Structure formats: structure tokens, C-alpha cells
Amino acid sequence: MVFYAGGFEGLKRLDLVGLPNLQVVGFDERTAPWIEEIVIRSCKFRLFGKKNLKELWDFHPDGDIEVVN
């Protein structure tokens, strides 16, 4: 799952729950400029682009998440 620039401009919270087949989550620059919180439960994947989430202040990974950058 890749989030591209301009796709979620108003998003403030993202919940990724119960997605066992999800392998990769990526955030392009300017994808969700206002996202403040990400909650992850019952998932195992590699996370790319966390550095692109400039307003992120609350990150709750509950599972096997590898943050790549």
C-alpha cells in the first residue's frame, strides 16, 4: 500500500488494523501533510517514508513493524 502526494491532504489519523497480508506501507512526500497519529494493530509490514510525515506526533505500532526510513 503506497500513499502518494495529494491523496490524503485532510487525514489526521490512520488506523491499520488486522491486515495480515499487507507487506509494505509507504508514504510519499506531501502524502498526508496533517497526519498526527498512526495506529497499527495485528499487522506485519515494512514502513517506508515515515520521515515524510512532518506532523506525526503519535505512532502506535502493535506488531512486527520494520521502519525503513
pTM for this one?
0.81
Convert the pLDDT of each residue in 32-63 to its tens digit: 888 899 999 989 899 999 998 888 999 888 87
- What is the residue extent of each domain of the chain? 2-67
Instruction: Let me know the angle formed at the C-alpha of 54 by 11 and 29, rounded to the nearest 5 degrees.
Output: 75
